[in-house]
Each structure stands twice: as C-alpha cells, then as structure tokens.
C-alpha cells in the first residue's frame, strides 16, 4: 500500500519499504519545540501529531509521522549538540538500561490515531577508546541518544526488550496492526 | 578488523560489515547432519564448530562460523521444505512466543571459543491471507522458522527479548565482547 511519510529520516523510509510499503516522503518545517516537563511518551506523541498535521494531504492518502527520543532514568536525551555532548551521552548509557520511545501519528481522511511504543535497551559497558572511535565514525551525530542500533552502535547493545524497529525510529509491526483496524 | 566468515549467508556478511568488520567469505561443504535428540543450543554450537573447522585458515586469521535455528516449545524448526511446510511453520508461530538460537564458533590461531545466544520472539496473531501473501513474496523459503525479521517478516513481530541480530543470524554484540577478550 502507498503511504506518505512526513519525516525526512532515511531510516524510517527504509523500514517502511522493507516492510513492503510504497513510500512518498513529504516533509514540513513544523515547530518541534516541546512543552516543559512533558513525559517522553507525551513528547513523542505530541511531535508526531504536529508533524503529521503540518503537511498537505489529499483524499485517501495515508500519512505517517513519527518522533523518537531516548530516555535515561526518565530524562530525555535528544540528538548530540557536538562531539563532546555525544561523549557525555554515550558515557551515561554505558553499562546501563535506557528506554527508546517513538511516537506515531497516522492520518487517513477524517481518522487520526496517535500512539507510542517503548523499547528497553541494555548497553554493554563501554571504555573511553570505544566511545572515541565510535564518535570518529560520525555515526552518533544525527541520532537520538548518540547511537545507531542499525550501524556500528549494534556492538554496544547487549539486549533489547520490545520492537527493534522502534529503536531505529518506527515501530513498524504496531503500525501495521493499527492500519489494519483503521482502514 | 579482518574476519573470515565461514558462512554463505549474505545476512551474516551484512551484519559484520555494518558493525565495521572487513569480511572475507570462505565456505566449505561441511556435513550439517545433527545427532538425534540434541537441544537447540547444543545443535547450533555443534554445527558452528563443524563449519568453522571445515575451512582452511592461515596464521593470524580470525574465523567466524554460525548456525541458527528457531525453536517452538523446545522443538527445532529449520528452513521450510516447501510452501506448504512454510504455511505450517508460520501458522504454528502465529500469536505465540518462540526462541531463536544462534551458535557461534570463533577460531584465532590455537584459540577456539564456542557459544550460543538466544532471543525470544513474540509474534502477532496472523490470519491465513497474511501468511499466503507472505509466502508469495518468496521470503520465507531460505530462512529458519520461515520468516525474515529484517524483511517483510518484521510485520509479524510484536516484541523481542534479546539481541535482534541474533534473530537475523549473528549475535554481533556478543561476538565483539568475545573477540575483545580473545585477541
């Protein structure tokens, strides 16, 4: 089926295409400012809803938007500002369990659904040299939590509990279930 | 680092390359017959060891071999024999939790280590049409358990507990940890 992806993330496009969707990317410059003191779930749902509603859509188009954050001890970690920030984030995640939240908004004609999914990720203990080497690859810089589980960051992950694709940025199994009920 | 992969699986090669390894594939036609009544862990460890030892290796080469099976209620499910068998396997997995075991053997000069990793996979309930459509894509036929979590099979997976890459065929994080201690 055809879907309009309201996200510029090449990873989200790839996930949907792997799953068999035909994907058209259509992005807006929606205001992604978060209200203060919002929980990770509410934050990602709020931003997904804003992104999905910010693009123009035609009748019978299915629009999917998403937002992903990493939370450690309830505190939201976004994308790193610079390499020093990436080092701080990865040091904080080392040896610990964190949570990845992706909020999704799907719009089809008059119907709109918003939900989020959470995956727990347990990191191995990282040493400083591993973190420096990883930052030198450039991989952390555009990613929430400063790592990519689909890239070299896979070496840091001991185990996950939940949907892997939710960590990459889109809980594709849950999206399939929701779309089945919606259409 | 350079590794010799004693497996023809393009997925295993891709996992190692994504993780930053330089991979040379070198396969043998090892005898993959399993002893009767063997547990899934022992089965995959046994076959990984046979595969790793069946290829020729030079001094200072690091050889990695692996074998993956799916087990439902302790019973090993291999690759489907035909489309009817694939239908039976996917119907059995529908709505249930199964386990994926990958055994790994790493050889470096005189050192050899063998281990396995297990990931639990919870499937959504599948309806017959979904299973027929999936079989028509051809994806199930060369895969243990008749699905690929990295392809359209991702839509069937509600959640996993463990390493995602172990389900794809190679527990790459654990391999990294073992190699660090070995070399």
Q: Are the beta carbons of B44 and B68 closer than 8 angstroms?
A: yes
Q: Please tell me which of the candidates B137, B157, B174 has its beta carbon nearest to residue A173.
A: B157
pLDDT of residue A132: 98
Identify the active-site residue in B22, B36, B60, B67.
Answer: B67
Note whether B159 contacts A162, CB cutoff 8 Å. yes
How many Å lie between the alpha carbon of A161 and the closest alpha carbon of chain B? 4
Give yes or no for residue B164 having a pLDDT over 80: yes
pLDDT of residue B166: 98
What's the whole-number mean pLDDT along residues A75-79? 89
pLDDT of residue A183: 80
Mean residue pLDDT of chain A comes to 95
Note whether A163 contacts B161, CB cutoff 8 Å. no
How many Å lie between the alpha carbon of B78 and the closest alpha carbon of chain A? 23
β A97-108/A62-72 pair status: antiparallel
pLDDT of residue A29: 83
What's the whole-number mean pLDDT along residues B67-80? 92
Give yes or no for residue B34 having a pLDDT over 90: no
Question: DSSP 3-state assignment of A170?
Answer: coil
A161: chain B residues, CB-CB within 8 Å:
159-161
How many Å lie between the alpha carbon of A128 and the closest alpha carbon of chain B? 14
Distance CA B63, CA B57 (A): 8
Give yes or no for residue B89 having a pLDDT over 90: yes
DSSP A148: -
B67 is catalytic: yes
pLDDT of residue B183: 80
Other Cβ atoms less than 10 A from the Cβ of B138: the count is 10
A174: chain B residues, CB-CB within 8 Å:
158
Note whether A20 contacts B172, CB cutoff 8 Å. no
Chain B residues contacting A, CB < 8 Å?
15, 18-20, 119, 124, 137, 149-152, 154-165, 172-174, 176-177
Q: What are phi and psi of A154, to 5 degrees?
A: -55, -25
Distance CA B18, CA B20 (A): 5
Please give the residue that has the higher pLDDT: either A34 or B72.
B72
Other Cβ atoms less than 10 A from the Cβ of B129: the count is 8
Non-local CB neighbours of B74 within 8 Å, separated by 6+ positions: B39, B40
Partners of A117 in the β-ladder? A102
pLDDT of residue B173: 97
Could you read off the pLDDT of B135-153 as tens digits, one per residue?
A: 999 999 999 999 999 999 9
Non-local CB neighbours of A55 within 8 Å, separated by 6+ positions: A4, A6, A26, A27, A28, A63, A65
Q: Are the beta carbons of A147 and A139 closer than 8 angstroms?
A: yes
Q: Please tell me which of the candidates A151, A158, A172 has its beta carbon nearest to residue B154.
A: A172
Task: Name the pTM for this structure.
Answer: 0.94
β B111-123/A111-123 pair status: unpaired
Q: Are the beta carbons of A93 and A143 closer than 8 angstroms?
A: no
How many Å lie between the alpha carbon of A26 and the closest alpha carbon of chain B? 23
Distance CA A76, CA A64 (A): 23
- Residue A95's region, left for phi above 0, alpha for psi from -120 to 50, else beta, is left
Other Cβ atoms less than 10 A from the Cβ of B60: the count is 9
CA-based torsion, B147, B151, B153, B154: positive or negative:
positive
Please compute Rg for chain B using Cα positions.
Answer: 16
Identify the active-site residue in A22, A36, A67, A127.
Answer: A67
Q: Is B59 exposed, middle or buried (0-12, 13-18, 19+ CB in 10 A)?
A: exposed
């Amino acid at each position: 089926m055809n879907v309009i992806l309201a996200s510029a993330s090449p990873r989200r496009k790839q996930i949907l295409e792997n799953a068999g969707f035909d994907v058209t990317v259509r992005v807006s410059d929606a205001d992604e400012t978060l209200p203060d003191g919002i929980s990770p779930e509410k934050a990602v749902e709020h931003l997904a809803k804003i992104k999905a509603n910010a693009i123009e859509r035609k009748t019978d188009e299915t629009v999917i938007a998403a937002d992903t954050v990493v939370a450690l001890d309830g505190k939201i970690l976004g994308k790193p500002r610079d390499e020093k920030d990436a080092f701080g984030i990865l040091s904080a995640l080392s040896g610990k369990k964190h949570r990845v939240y992706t909020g999704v908004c799907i719009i089809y004609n008059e119907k709109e659904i918003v939900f989020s999914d959470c995956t727990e990720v347990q990191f191995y203990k990282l040493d400083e040299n591993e973190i420096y080497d990883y930052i030198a690859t450039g991989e952390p810089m555009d990613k929430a939590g400063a790592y990519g589980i689909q890239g070299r960051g896979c070496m840091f992950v001991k185990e996950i509990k939940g949907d892997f694709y939710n960590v990459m940025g889109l809980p594709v199994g849950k999206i399939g279930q929701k779309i089945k009920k919606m259409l």
